[in-house]
Structure 1
Amino acid sequence: MLQKLKSFSAVTARVWALSLPYFKSEERWKARGLLAAIVGLNLAAVFMLVQINEWNRVFYDALQNKQADVFWQQLGRFALLAAVYIVIAVYKFYLTQWLELQWRRWMTRHYLQRWLGQHLFYRLELSRFARAHAQGATSPDNPDQRIQEDVNLFTSASISLSMGLLNAAVTLASFVGILWGLSGSFGFSWQGSDYSIPGFMVWMAVLYCVAGSVATHYIGRPLIALNFGQQKLEADFRSHMGRVREYSESIALDRGAAVENQQLDLRFSHVMRNTLDLMRAQKRLIWFTTFFGQAAVVFPFIVAAPRFFSGAIQLGELMQIASAFDRVQGSLSWLVDNYDSLAGWRATTERLASFEENLNAQEAPTQGLTTQTGEGLRVDRLSLTLPDGAPLLAPSSAQVAAGAQVLLQGPSGSGKSSLFRALAGLWPYAQGSITQPADVMFIPQKPYLPNGRLRDALAYPEVASRYDDAQLREALAQALLPHLGDALDQEDAWSQKLSGGEQQRLALARVFLKQPAWVMADEATSALDEASEQLIYQRLLALTQRRGGGLVSIAHRPALAAFHDHRWQLEPLPGPGRAFRLVSAAAEAAQSTP
């Protein structure tokens, strides 16, 4: 029991932590106002149900007594009560949907800003490797599903279930007194003594619902884990199909369609297996809840029938008792009626809370690393590790002054790309100090090209309207892509349409378009032929010299050494392990040792 209370407390704390930010945000007054209006409409709806319950007694008594005038009068009263109740129900639904929509919009934008801010989307992917090696750690899988699907499910289910619980509590408070007064006392004799149980129908409703709630919990408990697993398996299946589409050309060239089909079929079989388990668990729950609901229809008549047949109560009072019992039983059966929804909502809450925890962990500042902006590029006592904690770069220092060109080289796996990411401020597993130049562009080996117009892909991440057509065409010509000058307004999936070399040249065209003082390139011309590569580097060198900046390149081709006057070399340290140190060919003695 103590463990269950701790689990309930943990879930409540997670729900509170996820919900509170919106109601304390810049939209708090609108959010609180909508919530207050919905609560008020729920209370008004319960009040109308109390009035309709009282109407039941008068109406059915009129039928039993054949009072035609009272009958028609009560029909008119019912029409008025029903009209008011309909208006309340419609606006309660509309305002609830409106609050769900506004809450989802705020949470989605909130998580998008956090996920895309501070490069957390990149850090979360890096942390997968580290968490895979950490015992008991959970991987922050499928952030797209968390933001798109789980936020929607969380906001709608939270409002629906909380308002349902509030409605059940208010209905119980409103009708339990009515039922208590109507049900009378139940008298019986035991061992020669007479006993009386006041409010007998209330106690029967409580007993009926407690028994049903306990049974529902034990029957439906597996649904929580199955719902959680279902969302994860569905997302894994969808994610792998996305990767097949993203790497369609490579898979086709490798003749890998059969393998991918096997992988997708395996993931889909996991989805189907979990779905079948979920269906079986839901079937068991529906067996019980349907029986419970149908039995509740006749249960109050069975209990109250002896008093009716003895003449103690009339038909109207019997119907009022049945109506009040139904309201009390329905309120007490809230858990029974909503267990399936609660299981799905709890699974959604757990996934969203896990995503929140991962974001919080990645938002924490990198320990031991300081970054600043200066005139040139400088690293002081910089050390790098892999995500699993294995050492990669021993503490090293180096600098690049304005006007210099540095070629970074080293064996495969020595950490060249990791050092490149650290210089860009992306690698979180670093210690030391980095000084970056202010006007710098980083060019990766595999550039990102958004789908849409070519002019947008060329100007990315800036808006294309900042540049005129002449500037865009000139940049394409500088990057040896003059044939694309007439396709600026053509929309396409450029990462699929352009060859690897054309994609790299389009990324270089961004450099010629934006004219940075500093350029740092990680194998940015590896897909180009040697003649094109040399011509591109001549133009990059002229650009950086004209702007008074510098050039830092990672490359393997010996011919590129002619465009650089300094060399940084990653050399392995002696002894076991795979750590390296950074050595400058121009001033080897000045470099730090581990």
Structure 2
Amino acid sequence: MPLFRRSPSNQASNNTNLNDGTNTMNEACDGYVEFGSSASPAAAAAAADADAPSSSLPTNVHHTRKPNRFREQFHSFHVMASPYFHENRNGRCLLLIMVILTLSNSAVRVLFSYLARDFWSALYDQNIELFYSIMAKFVGAMILLAPINVAYRYQRQKLAIAWRKWLTGRVLRLYFANKVYYGLERQAAGNSVIKRTSEAYDNLGEDDAAAATTTTTKKSTTSNQSTKEVDNPDQRISEDIRSFTEFSLYFFLTLITSVIDLVCFSFILFSIMPQLFLAIFAFAFIGTFLTVCIGKVLIRLNYESLQREADFRFSLVRVRENSESIAFYAGENVEERETDRRFEYVIDNMTMINIAQRNLEFVTTYYNYLTWVLPIMVVAPEFFAGNVELGVISQASSAFGHILDDLSIVVNSFADVSKFSAGIDRLYSFMSAIMELDPERRSMGKLLSVVPVAEFNGGISSISTGYDAIPMPSQSSDNVIQVKRFDPWVTTAPSFDEASNSQPSTILFIIGLRLATPDNKRILVDNLNLSLASGSHLLIVGASGSGKSSLLRAIAGLWSTGSGEIVRPSSEYVYFLPQRPYCPPGSLRDQLLYPSTDQKDDHFSPTRMDGNEHRPDGGPSPSDQRRLWKDWTDDDLLKLLERVDLPHLAGRAGDGDPYRGLNAVLDWTNTLSLGEQQRLAFGRLVINRPRLVIMDESTSALDVVAERKMYQLLNDTSIGGEARVGELTYVSVGHRPTLLSYHNLKLSLRDSAGFVSEIPPNTDMVDEGFILS
């Protein structure tokens, strides 16, 4: 028997190690793609019940086998893997080192095959001198092989870490560019079964409610839908990328090793027995064919497993995030049943996978055992006839095993390759969706390309948007709301007729705006024209569902379904206050400063902005960068908390020490009431000092007295720094009659039209008829 022949148990161990390195691919992929096999029972039932496929399937799934599947997979892999090695010199160097180590490994294995041959021949001939000479060579070869193996594994992991760092950084950059993360979330929300309360419908506006009603009954999976639904982007970024980089390296290096081994050991085996060399190809073909036929069901089951595991995790996360509401409703029994139901799907799928793997292991186990017996059975007659030495049998068996392993990658790693295939599809669809949702990158056609940072010269620049409930990036510009931005320190918004009607004080322009629901079946606002002068205070009113919140989203660039043009200041001069403020992870200080950095930025000073400012690193000042206009000390922040009616918050968070409380890290979303969060958001506004504030029922949780204090704070807030340059412009959405006294203009939305009127100074604060008129 050969001394250095890999046994079936060792191969199983190798597969186990591989699973350890890539097991998160099984958790990361939350959908599955049909590979020509029959759909799951749930999918079949859903397809029979509706025109759309099952909701567990991604929208890009077809139920027939696609032609050239291997070519598509290779193309997907290439476009995701090649940019790192093209753009990163360190990555190319690490890859070159890995190739050299792989060649060294193969050379040592060939050396061992000859040493094993001479070892068994010397042992059979009882040649003591030759035996000890060969043993000395064995020791030398092992001393050489050990550092090569250690360096091989270390360098492979080092390259995987470097590749993951680069790829994750690039994907994060693209994910946060142009609010793509928001587009993905809106897309996912538009394709999920969501039950909203009437209060939530009122908060979203009828446009969102209509989108939810339309898209939650069934998924739109028509072939002309250019943007695929992407679920769980967090898992795709954190886990899919890691699995992709690690397994890609493993598989690539395995292929290199297999090619080298195949060439080297083929010469050895052919020189010993040509007929055995030819038989091995037939044996490998039969084994691969049986493995694919029996194990192909694992591809579908693995995809389905990932989706069901994700659904089960999501149900648990939903309970955690809505625990208080569930407790108020006493709905724990309903939630338990729903969670159990999803877990049963997981168990059913695990059982089916276990059965499929059992059937596959029958083939692979017999296949591996035959690799031990077959070469010995073929060479043994020659040995008994005295034509070959015992060492030749050992070398032939070893060469046979190496070649067979090289030809049997599919047999030995089919389960892992199927998971890797799932990961490629999943990661590619995610990156494709990111590209299609980014209007600046869509025309470039490169999955991981980055748009060069263009210098913002203070003029008016266009930002196209595509972030509706079901993004349709292939829309023509005539069917997309165009949002343009300008630097208010350098230029002003144009009027309707830029050539003749210049209005230098205008800060917001809405021109011919047509606002539609995501399915384009209903017009919320039609032909709206609005010119808002700097220092104006506009109140947007209308019946619930008239499109008030959607109009604010259009101004922000988050809603594009419709047509028309919106001209507003660039993002660092606009501040949006939603009804429920966002509380990021971090300290109380972080809550107040968000989203600014903690550094003063003199580049935004009105005395220095000439339209050609650059960052300290030499790059252009990005249009969306928001930095502080002054350095805020701890005392300044504590005084600000008093101004927003939160004088004891810092002391409460710091166990009586307010300065310590500023650095306290808590779960602020659950620590603060909604009213406290809204007051904290007004404190952020004071710190950021924008030119234009957009508020969507930002005082709905405040009493009348607190609401008056917050609006008085707005009126007292200067813009642009310490000196009072002009009044703050703000736009509010709300239903309370008390809001009338804080505004001088009113935009009424009704019957798909908008009507602008002045609010008389002495309007009765409780005139409900006036606020809805």
Same fold (TM over 0.5): yes
Helix, strand or coil for the counterpart of 1:524? Answer: coil
Q: Deviations over 1:12-52 (max 9, x none)?
A: 11111111121122xx2111111111111111111111111
**Which aligned pairs between 1:460-471 and structure 2 lie closer than 5 A?**
460-464=594-598, 466-471=631-636
Q: Which residue of 2 aligns with 1:553?
A: 732
Q: Identify the match of residue 142 of structure 2 among 82, 96, 102.
A: 82
Q: Identify the match of residue 18 of structure 1 among 68, 80, 84.
A: 80
Q: Deviations over 1:206-241 (max 9, x none)?
A: 111110001011111111122222222222322332
Is 1:206 aligned to residue 206 of structure 2?
A: no
Determine if contact 1:31/1:99 at 8 Å carries over to the other structure: yes
- Separation in 2, partners of 1:503, 1:41: 58
Q: May I ask how many residue pairs the two structures share in their alignment?
A: 563
Q: Identify the match of residue 576 of structure 2 among 415, 419, 442.
A: 442
Quote how far apart the aligned CAs of 1:5 are.
5.7
Determine if contact 2:118/2:391 at 8 Å carries over to the other structure: yes
Q: Which residue of 2 aligns with 1:284?
A: 359
Determine if contact 1:517/1:543 at 8 Å carries over to the other structure: no
The 1:258–1:116 alpha-carbon spacing in structure 2 relative to 1, beyond 3 Å, is farther
Is 1:511 aligned to residue 667 of structure 2?
A: no
Q: Which structure: larger Rg? A: 1
Q: Which residue of 1 aligns with 2:511?
A: 380
Give TM-score scaled by structure 1 length. 0.91
Question: Structure 1: which 5+ runs fail to align?
Answer: 184-198, 573-579, 588-594
- Higher deviation after alignment, 251-260 or 286-295: 251-260
Determine if contact 1:300/1:321 at 8 Å carries over to the other structure: yes
- Separation in 1, partners of 2:294, 2:68: 21
- Separation in 1, partners of 2:316, 2:586: 22
Q: Which residue of 2 aligns with 1:483?
A: 648
- Separation in 1, partners of 2:562, 2:243: 38
Quote how far apart the aligned CAs of 1:554 are.
0.3
Q: Deviations over 1:126-171 (max 9, x none)?
A: 1235565422564211000100111111111111111111111110
Helix, strand or coil for the counterpart of 1:585? Answer: strand
The 1:544–1:551 alpha-carbon spacing in structure 2 relative to 1, beyond 3 Å, is farther
- Separation in 2, partners of 1:488, 1:347: 46
Q: Which residue of 2 aligns with 1:174?
A: 264
Q: Which residue of 1 aligns with 2:591?
A: 457
- Separation in 2, partners of 1:394, 1:109: 42
Q: Identify the match of residue 530 of structure 1 among 704, 710, 717.
A: 704
- Higher deviation after alignment, 287-296 or 522-531: 287-296
- Higher deviation after alignment, 340-349 or 264-273: 264-273
The 1:21–1:240 alpha-carbon spacing in structure 2 relative to 1, beyond 3 Å, is farther
Is 1:140 aligned to residue 230 of structure 2?
A: yes
Q: Identify the match of residue 520 of structure 2 among 389, 395, 400.
A: 389
What is the percent sequence identity of the aligned residues? 33
Determine if contact 1:142/1:236 at 8 Å carries over to the other structure: no
Quote how far apart the aligned CAs of 1:583 are.
2.1
Quote how far apart the aligned CAs of 1:565 are.
0.9
Amino acid aligned to 1:484: L
Q: Identify the match of residue 70 of structure 1 among 130, 144, 154.
A: 130
Is 1:582 aligned to residue 582 of structure 2?
A: no
Determine if contact 1:104/1:152 at 8 Å carries over to the other structure: yes
Quote how far apart the aligned CAs of 1:262 are.
2.2
Question: Structure 2: which 5+ runs fail to align?
Answer: 1-35, 37-63, 192-214, 440-463, 466-476, 487-492, 494-505, 600-630, 651-657, 760-773
- Separation in 2, partners of 1:376, 1:13: 48
Amino acid aligned to 2:637: L
**Which aligned pairs between 1:346-365 and structure 2 lie closer than 5 A?**
346-364=421-439, 365=464
Helix, strand or coil for the counterpart of 1:250? Answer: helix
Amino acid aligned to 2:517: L
Determine if contact 2:714/2:728 at 8 Å carries over to the other structure: no
Give TM-score scaled by structure 2 length. 0.70
- Separation in 1, partners of 2:425, 2:153: 27
Determine if contact 1:519/1:544 at 8 Å carries over to the other structure: no
- Higher deviation after alignment, 134-143 or 10-19: 134-143
Q: Which residue of 2 aligns with 1:191?
A: none
The 1:246–1:321 alpha-carbon spacing in structure 2 relative to 1, beyond 3 Å, is same
Quote how far apart the aligned CAs of 1:430 are.
4.3
- Separation in 2, partners of 1:540, 1:141: 40
- Higher deviation after alignment, 387-396 or 485-494: 387-396
Q: Identify the match of residue 542 of structure 1 among 716, 725, 734.
A: 716
Q: Which residue of 1 aligns with 2:70?
A: 8
Q: Identify the match of residue 176 of structure 2 among 86, 96, 116.
A: 116
Helix, strand or coil for the counterpart of 2:648? Answer: helix
Amino acid aligned to 2:221: Q
Quote how far apart the aligned CAs of 1:200 are.
0.3
Helix, strand or coil for the counterpart of 1:205? Answer: helix
Determine if contact 1:544/1:550 at 8 Å carries over to the other structure: no
- Separation in 1, partners of 2:670, 2:757: 40
Q: Identify the match of residue 404 of structure 1 among 536, 544, 561.
A: 536
Is 1:420 aligned to residue 552 of structure 2?
A: yes
The 1:263–1:535 alpha-carbon spacing in structure 2 relative to 1, beyond 3 Å, is same
Q: Which residue of 2 aligns with 1:192?
A: none
Q: Which residue of 1 aligns with 2:447?
A: none
- Separation in 1, partners of 2:404, 2:507: 75
Amino acid aligned to 2:485: Q
Amino acid aligned to 1:450: P
Is 1:568 aligned to residue 658 of structure 2?
A: no
Q: Which residue of 1 aligns with 2:375?
A: 300
The 1:477–1:381 alpha-carbon spacing in structure 2 relative to 1, beyond 3 Å, is same
Is 1:313 aligned to residue 444 of structure 2?
A: no
Q: Deviations over 1:365-389 (max 9, x none)?
A: 4334141223501111122233333
Q: Which residue of 2 aligns with 1:591?
A: none
Helix, strand or coil for the counterpart of 1:23? Answer: helix
- Separation in 1, partners of 2:346, 2:267: 49
Amino acid aligned to 1:490: A
Amino acid aligned to 1:162: F
Query: Where is the helix percentage greater, Structure 1 or Structure 2?
Result: 1
Determine if contact 1:568/1:584 at 8 Å carries over to the other structure: yes
Q: Which residue of 2 aligns with 1:224?
A: 299
Determine if contact 1:225/1:347 at 8 Å carries over to the other structure: no
Helix, strand or coil for the counterpart of 2:68? Answer: helix
- Higher deviation after alignment, 147-156 or 125-134: 125-134
Quote how far apart the aligned CAs of 1:4 are.
6.9
Determine if contact 1:386/1:429 at 8 Å carries over to the other structure: yes
Helix, strand or coil for the counterpart of 2:117? Answer: helix
- Separation in 1, partners of 2:667, 2:66: 52
- Separation in 1, partners of 2:709, 2:566: 31
Amino acid aligned to 1:85: L
Q: Identify the match of residue 31 of structure 1 among 64, 82, 91.
A: 91
Query: Where is the strand percentage greater, Structure 1 or Structure 2?
Result: 1
- Separation in 2, partners of 1:453, 1:357: 36
Quote how far apart the aligned CAs of 1:250 are.
2.4
Determine if contact 2:85/2:92 at 8 Å carries over to the other structure: yes
Q: Which residue of 2 aligns with 1:50?
A: 110
Q: Identify the match of residue 520 of structure 1 among 694, 697, 706.
A: 694
- Separation in 1, partners of 2:349, 2:165: 31
The 1:129–1:455 alpha-carbon spacing in structure 2 relative to 1, beyond 3 Å, is closer
Q: Deviations over 1:299-325 (max 9, x none)?
A: 110111111111111111111111111
